[in-house]
Amino acid sequence: MAGIISVFDTTLRDGTQGEGISLSAEDKIKIAQKLDALGVHYIEGGNPGSNGKDMEFFQRARKLKLQAKLTAFGSTRRKDSIAEHDTSLKSIIEAAVPAASLVGKSWDFHVHTALQTTLEENLAMIADSIRFLKRAGLEVCFDAEHFFDGYKQNRDYALSVLRTAGDAGADWLVLCDTNGGSLPGEIHRIVQEVSRLGYPIGIHPHNDCELAVANALSGVEAGARMIQGTINGYGERCGNANLCSILPTLELKMGYECLPQGHLKQLTAVARYISEIANIHLPNNQPYVGSSAFAHKGGIHVSAILKDSKTYEHIAPESVGNKRRVLVSELAGQSNLLFKAQEIGLTLDPSNVQTQEVMARIKDMEHQGYQFEGADASLELLLREASGETTEVFTIESFKLLVEKVAGHAIASEAIVKVRVEGETIYTAAEGNGPVNALDNALRKALIRSYPALRDMHLSDYKVRVINEKDATAAKVRVLVESSNYHHSWSTVGVSENVIEASWQALLDSIRYALIGQNPLPTPGEDHQERSGIVNL
């Protein structure tokens, strides 16, 4: 074991400064509980002196009995004042937290330009503020803002800031690459020198050169023993250091202990949960936790993966709570198809003519514009159909769609569906605030008597992609539909020159998949969690 690293999560403070992120006090409570379960050591909840929402969070969070140290953020006292009269510092005390994160200037340029005070007064502000918080019994992390820029411009003053904070009683001296412009070699050299001062050192990099993770790791190699970052790298401008990349790298590749044993397996679930709360899409290609982090598409790759996963995976996906995915497309080989079949419990013989026909059919459909790598449910239906495992539970005989517009106002669309269920032909009609929504409602209405659990299925996402733009309004389109219930989500695809027909194909596949018994729907009356919003199409 190389050593223990203290993990300081600032998703709820620095992360909320990212564009498009706004968390309510309730959102913060939910995220804090997830972070605590993950096992981080510090949770920086916000700045209680800046807004009532953060103070409300601290008041509510005190009742959670978190294992992590709840930390409040604030700045050093104002110039030419005293700490006891500073509202920001007093708010930290009022938050009744065990730890404080205090930011102060360490770059002489900022002292003169931003604070417009003397270098000596800045040192006094730092010392007075830390002593005030220490007298109140708090653990203090001093964030030396712009430290690396300050060090490169005025080394002696930047180091005097650290000595002042350390002598005043700061428990951690955190070196901030606030503008995110430093390089890993610079970080390593400077942290190594600062470590000689003898104080516990932390590092807080930003990602403006896309080097925040590399800089954090370089800082640890040089002697830093606290990492400050955010889940998914959320933060101002280009973001903060991404803990979802730092933590597994430190633990799995560098031998450091960051989280309690076994907790790293929660990482993917935590990353995706927080992205949902923040309403920020998690990039598919995000290292370690993205849905494509262990996705394999090339046939040669998949063939090797089936022999030994280490051929194309640098770690086991399960170690971070993720999973291996094999994509089937026009680039796929036979190995991809066999792997997908194994995933759903089917056995396909690669020498079988039927298997070869399925592969040829999939390649032809991809050539037409279908995309199965984003529509696993449609692919599974094809495989089950080829293996003779599926039976049609309903048959569509026809549908009609009416859309009326009067005096510039759109009237709700109306769909009429003729469907055969259990030997009986049923006509149903339903309205919707869009044509696909109307079709969805009409089809459900026809099936709900025989399959009442469909009440708990809903469309959660809908995407349309024009395949051949040059054909203008006659272009072929691809529709991807994501459907969910309280236990699962699944994606289906449809392709046509008619957007309604493409949507109808994807919708039919979605309902067929829900009814084949592989994706069980809860029965009515069961105690469910609150569903996400239904997409109106």
Q: What is the pLDDT of residues 341-400, one digit of tens each?
A: 777 777 767 677 777 777 777 777 877 877 776 788 888 888 887 666 666 778 888 888
Measure the CA–CA gap between 330 and 310, rounded to whole angstroms. Answer: 25
Same domain as 307, residue 201 = no
- Nearest 5 degrees, angle CA 199-CA 203-CA 208? 155
Q: Is pLDDT at 518 greater than 70 in this prediction?
A: no
Q: Which of 493, 501, 416, 496 is nearest to 462 (CA)?
A: 493
pLDDT of amino acid 530: 34
Mean pLDDT of 431-460: 85
Q: Is pLDDT above 70 for 158?
A: yes
More confident residue, 441 or 203: 203
**Are both 57 and 168 inside the same structural domain?**
yes
Given CA atoms 450, 456, 457, 458 in this order, what sign does their dihedral have?
positive
pLDDT of residue 453: 78
Q: What's the pLDDT score for residue 123?
A: 98
Query: Can you tell me the distance from the alpha carbon of 74 to that of 46, in angstroms, rounded to the nearest whole number?
Result: 9
CATH number at residue 96: 3.20.20.70
Tokens of 431: 């309205």
Domain boundary, last residue among 346, 375, 404: 375
Question: Residues of 242-262 as b/e, b for ≥16 C-beta within 10 angstroms?
Answer: bbbbbbbbbbbeeebebbeee
Distance CA 530, CA 537 (A): 21
CA distances from 45 to 34, 90, 146, 352 (A): 13, 16, 22, 59
CA–CA separation, 399 and 435 (whole Å) = 12
Domain boundary among 245, 278, 311: 278
Of 140-154, 158-172, 219-233, 362-376, which range is least confident? 362-376
270 and 369 both lie in a single domain = no
Q: What is the rounded CA–CA span in Å between residue 416 and residue 411?
A: 16
On the question of pLDDT at 143 being above 50, the answer is: yes
Average pLDDT value over all residues in the chain: 87
Does one domain contain both 235 and 311?
Answer: no
Largest Cα span, the chain: 89
Q: Which of 8-17, 85-94, 306-315 has the lowest mean pLDDT?
A: 306-315
Mean pLDDT on 130-158: 98
Closest of 87, 79, 102 to residue 165, by C-alpha: 102
pLDDT tens for 50-59 read 888 899 999 9
Residue that has been written with the tokens 């009814």 in this structure = 515
Same domain for 50 and 85: yes
Q: Give me the pLDDT at residue 433, please.
A: 80
Q: Are residues 92 and 188 in the same domain?
A: yes
Sheet with 394-402, strands from edge to edge, namely: 394-402, 413-421, 424-432
Instruction: Match 């194909």 to its residue by tokens.
Output: 505
347, 375, 403 — which closes off a domain? 375
> How much of the chain exceeds pLDDT 90, in percent?
57
Is the pLDDT reported for residue 531 higher than 60?
no
Give domain status of residue 329, yes or no.
Answer: yes
Q: Would you say residue 252 lies in a domain?
A: yes
pLDDT at 471: 64
The confidence score (pLDDT) of residue 537 equals 42
**Is the confidence at residue 228, as pLDDT, over 60?**
yes
Q: What is the pLDDT of residue 520?
A: 46
Higher per-residue pLDDT: 407 or 197: 197
What was the pLDDT predicted at 535?
38
Asked if residue 259 has pLDDT above 90, the reply is yes
* Residue that wins the pLDDT comparison between 403 and 28: 28
Q: What is the pLDDT of residue 452?
A: 84
Q: Please state the length of the chain.
A: 537
pLDDT at 332: 54
Enclosing domain of residue 133 = 3-278
- Specify whether 83 is located in the same domain as 154: yes
The 10s digit of each residue's pLDDT in 268-325 is: 999 999 998 898 888 989 999 998 899 887 777 867 877 888 898 999 999 999 988 7
Q: Is 402 within a domain?
A: yes
Residue 50 lies in a domain: yes
pLDDT at 96: 95
Q: Are residues 74 and 166 in the same domain?
A: yes
User: Do 299 and 217 share a structural domain?
Assistant: no
Question: Based on the domain organization, do 271 and 239 belong to the same domain?
Answer: yes
For 324-342, the pLDDT digits (tens) are 877 665 545 566 667 777 7
Whether residue 203 is contained in a domain is answered as: yes
Radius of gyration for the chain, computed over Cα atoms and rounded to the nearest angstrom: 28
Q: Is residue 135 part of a domain?
A: yes
Is residue 519 predicted with pLDDT exceeding 70?
A: no
**Beta strand ranges found along 160-304 (DSSP E):** 172-177, 201-205, 226-229, 256-257, 295-296
Specify the long-range contacts of residues 81-86, CB closer than 8 Å, at least 24 apart: 82/128, 83/128, 83/129, 83/131, 83/132, 84/132, 86/129, 86/132
pLDDT at res. 532: 32
Which amino acid is it at 439? Answer: L
Three-class SS of 415-467: EEEEEEECCEEEEEEEEECCHHHHHHHHHHHHHCCCCHHHHHCEEEEEEEEEC
Is beta strand 139-145 parallel, antiparallel or unpaired with respect to 394-402? unpaired
**Number of domains the chain is built from:** 3
Per mean pLDDT, which range of 82-86, 264-268, 343-347 is the poorest? 343-347
The answer to whether residue 509 sits within a structural domain is: no
Same-domain status, 217 and 301: no
Residue 484 has pLDDT above 90, yes or no: no
In the predicted structure, residue 33 carries a pLDDT above the cut 90: yes
267 against 468, higher pLDDT: 267
- Whether pLDDT at 14 is above 70: yes
Cα–Cα distance between 108 and 460 in angstroms, integer?
A: 52
Q: Is residue 484 part of a domain?
A: no
185-199, 227-241, 402-416: segment of lowest average pLDDT: 402-416
Answer yes or no: do 369 and 399 share one domain: no
